[in-house]
Amino acid sequence: MFLFLLIGYPYNPINNPIRLDTTYALETVYRINVGGDDISPKSDTGMFRTWIKDDQYLYGAADGQLAYDYGLQVKYTPMVPAYTAPDLVYRTARFMGFDSRINLNFNLSWFFPVETGFLYLVRLHFCELDRNMTKINKKVFSIYMNNDMNNETAQPQADVIGWSGGQGVPVYKDYVVMIPQGKNGIQDLWLDLHPSTETRPQYYQSFLNGVEIFRLNYYGGNLAVPNNPQLQYHEGPLVNSSSISSSTISSKKRLAKIIGGSAGGLVMAFIIVCSLAFWIRVANERAKKKNKSPFRYFTMKEIKAATNNFDEGRIIGTGGFGVVYKGYIDGETTTVAVKRSNKAQGHNEFQSEIKTLSLLRHQNVVSLMGYCSDEQEMILVYEYMPKGTLFEHLHFSDEQQKMPLSWNQRLHICIGAAQGLCYLHTGMKFQIVHRDVKTSNILLDENWVAKIADFGLSKIDPTNGSTKVMGSIGYIDPEYCRLLKLTDKSDVYSFGVVLLEVLSAKFVVNYNCNDNEENEDAVSFVEWALNCYEKGDLENLIDPHLEGKITPASLAKFMEITQKCLAEQGLDRPSISQVLWSLELALELQIHGNSEDRKVISGNSDLTLGVEFSEIMMPIGR
């Protein structure tokens, strides 16, 4: 039986496959569950293998995001039978993130210290977890292998759906890499994945589920020392075996024993030295990764230079958290937002925001660039968002002489914010609950893309235990206040308040009212708004700037999901992914409402539809 593999070095992997037969031996060096936890032999497929997580072998801060679908029914095939790898390997993965612009500028990379002078078989395991990914040429990426100085293209255009035939179907690819003899005996075998630009895929993305690495050598050789099966070494002249005398044979036997004993000792010493070098290298790499921060550290001198010594003319935002300044760094080539936190915010919230943002990379989550803790200050440096906050555009557009947001713009912004929350709730190994979702924490970039910001109150991996209630007045989930139990549905409630604020452009809390004055809007904005909708009092509910510009179907779908978000019990609220789908549908109904639905909502009209709502619903692909 022969096995044909692609060799990564020094041959062209496409045009020069090599043949491996039963004269080759394999020794397991690494067996990695990428993006998942350790898998014990008892949890394997009956092969009693141990799979370890990939954290210690990742390179750099840009180490990708975790994906998992523990409910996925892995569809094994005759080509990839069930014993190939356990379900847990194929149900977890590591991917690059959601921002194509970022993905094109870095590799998803791992390094594996190995002994030099050997061929290594590298088996890569893939399984598409995205249940909406069913067609080829959606994700295409390149695979590079060898070392950081001489990476070779192992696969120029990897398309997992094209290989496997569908979502949830596992597939693996084998490659052979030669690690040349080196002075130190240990060298890193690098694995890099990078989005392909040649085929112009829909998503510039790459991912991986598992890796196995085997040391490969000729069966007649010794896996303990380098041995190239294609080369045979001879010392002295070749002689005919019949001319050798018995005394010569005896002498050679004695000499062979001496040489054998010496060689055995040298081999053992070699193994010990290589093992020590290997573990020292691994320990050093772990220490480097542990001490390496994913963010830049700014000195107070740099912060003061960036903000012109905290010039009041640079202030772009204020609040209970502190003051935000517009700043310039790197020779004024990069614009940033510098948040100088109040001392009252507390060191814990400061550390929490840094910790949370170190885990995140998404196009709808604001990026933290660095921080400063000099002189007992707590300063965070973010990417600059030139369009400001959603709160400002809803409430101060007239004062700032800016055009009010259109209904389409508002829906797009809500969709972007929902995508950011969906990433926090479901896009990583540990769920993150933001705990302070509000319009002032939804920022807008130059292209009006919404990004979730301010993670000082966020909670990573919340449990069912009691927790201190934190958030902003008017947006906090009443059930959270009552039961002291935090879940992702608390964010959903707060987002429902945001949706009402987007529609009405009214303040959730009116801080200008007198204490002795009864103000229904201030006391219970949610109750007031839902009551207006139920009574058909749209003139008071809807922002006057939107009068005559919302189709009935779009408003009906928007309010349907908003009401569900604001349900009293968290169990009755939708997930944020369901909210996202409904908002996308509301936008489609606004843009492509059918002919019976051309009538639009005005402030003094009744909410009546020309056709049944079910007749104008349409499936929306995400």
Pair 324, 315: CB distance under 8 Å: yes
Reported as type and span, the H/E element at residue 479 is helix 478-483
Q: What whole-number distance in Å separates Cα of residue 609 and Cα of residue 593?
A: 11
Pair 384, 326: CB distance under 8 Å: yes
Among the listed residues 203, 209, 192, the one whose alpha carbon sits nearest the alpha carbon of residue 99: 203
Residue 239's SS3 state is: coil
Q: Where does residue 383 rank: exposed (0-12), middle (13-18), buried (19+ CB within 10 A)?
A: middle
**Look-up of token digits 């690098």:** 190
* Residues whose CB falls within 8 Å of the CB of residue 424, separated by 6 or more in sequence, listed in order: 360, 365, 431, 432, 433, 434, 452, 458, 491
For 496, the token pair is 């429902």
Q: What whole-number distance in Å separates Cα of residue 543 and Cα of residue 525?
A: 15
Q: Where does residue 578 rank: exposed (0-12), middle (13-18), buried (19+ CB within 10 A)?
A: middle
Q: What whole-number distance in Å separates Cα of residue 491 and Cα of residue 462?
A: 12
Residue 90's SS3 state is: helix
Task: Respond yes or no on whether the N-terminal peptide bond of residue 10 is cis (omega within 30° of 0).
Answer: yes
Residue 282's SS3 state is: helix
Q: What whole-number distance in Å separates Cα of residue 398 and Cα of residue 391?
A: 13
Q: Give the CA diameter of the chain.
A: 120
Q: Are strands 334-341 and 379-383 parallel, antiparallel or unpaired?
A: antiparallel
Q: Where does residue 251 rank: exposed (0-12), middle (13-18), buried (19+ CB within 10 A)?
A: exposed
Q: What is the DSSP letter of 314?
A: G
Q: What is the dihedral of CA 242, 246, 252, 255, to 10 degrees?
A: 180
What stretches of 385-447 adopt beta strand conformation (E)? 432-433, 442-444
DSSP assignment string, 561-615: HHHHHT-SSGGGSPPHHHHHHHHHHHHHHHHS--GGG---B-TTS----SS-HHH
Q: What whole-number distance in Å separates Cα of residue 554 and Cα of residue 538?
A: 14
Q: Which long-range contacts (CB under 8 A, 24 or more apart) does 39-44 make?
A: 39/86, 39/88, 39/89, 43/86, 43/88, 44/86
Residue 108's SS3 state is: strand
Query: Crossing angle of helices 525-535/488-504, nearest 10°?
Result: 60
Catalytic residues: 436
What does the angle CA 439 – CA 379 – CA 301 come to, to the nearest 5 degrees? Answer: 140
